[in-house]
Amino acid sequence: MKKNLIIICILGLNINLFANKIVSKIGTEFLYKSDVEKVFALKFGAKKYSEIDEKFKSKIIENLSSRLYILNEAKQDNIEEEKEFEKLLDEAKKDILIRLYLKDFRKNIQVDNKEIKKYYSENLKEKYTQVKVKTIVHKSKTKIKKLIKELELEDKSTLKETFERLAKKYSQHPRAGRGGEIGFIRYHTMAYPFGKEAFSLKENSINHKVFKTTLGYHIVYLEKYETKKFEEVKEEIKELLTEKMYRSEFKDLLKNLKIKYMTHVKNKVLEN
């Protein structure tokens, strides 16, 4: 009696746990909370069922339920017994086998930490650093030269303020009214050679040589640098290098397999 009571309690607990994972039952199929979480994660990132906004949750449930309505009908119509179903199922199995094989193949690719650090160092300026800049642009090279000379006489403590004043007065750039404020840029964000010139400057300084882009002649004031730390981008770089190695090794794999199976075919022909 006591033993039966324990079994009943355990069964009841399992049923409750199972029920807590279910959103709804449609025909013979169940719609699980985990299904909703997976769909949400694909578009917006991982979240628990209880954390998903009700509006999004309702829309996802509606779409998933629609699939289950059709799935139930397909089963009732014995679609699984049709020849076309068997053919498509066979093709799907092949695709799954290939996908899982390549997944395991990719898992075996190891990127050395030294390689990750090397990539970070080599791409630090162009990919993982940004600078906050202001610019003065003018069609006249002579005018820009005069402004550079004026700014060169300015004390470091007032350089930024003077630059902003001159930008508002003389710059022909759309951001002139904001003191030439461009904001943060990366090495290749702006038209060449803007990034190259900007990244050659120190903080709180301007370029002393005039350079030209499609907008005109420039003076750049560099306010500050911001660089992502290695630990911040380590996983991103690792994934990038893994993908690069995967593509390379995948090509080698195909070459080797081609030799293997073409040799096998030739041998079969010779045997016959």
Is 129-227 in the same CATH topology as 20-81? no
Structure tokens at 204: 């709180």
Torsion of the alpha carbons at 123, 124, 125 and 128, rounded to the nearest 10: 100
pLDDT tens across the length of the chain (272 residues): 545 544 444 344 344 444 568 888 888 889 898 998 898 888 888 888 888 888 888 999 999 999 999 999 999 999 999 999 999 999 999 999 999 999 999 999 999 999 999 999 999 999 999 999 999 999 999 999 999 999 999 999 999 999 999 999 999 999 999 999 999 999 998 889 999 999 999 999 999 999 999 999 999 999 999 999 999 999 999 999 999 999 999 999 999 998 888 875 556 555 55
Domain boundaries, the chain: 20-81, 94-125+230-272, 129-227
CATH code of domain 20-81: 1.10.8
Architecture label for domain 129-227: Roll (3.10)
Q: pTM here?
A: 0.65
Burial class (CB in 10 A: 0-12, 13-18, 19+), 148: middle
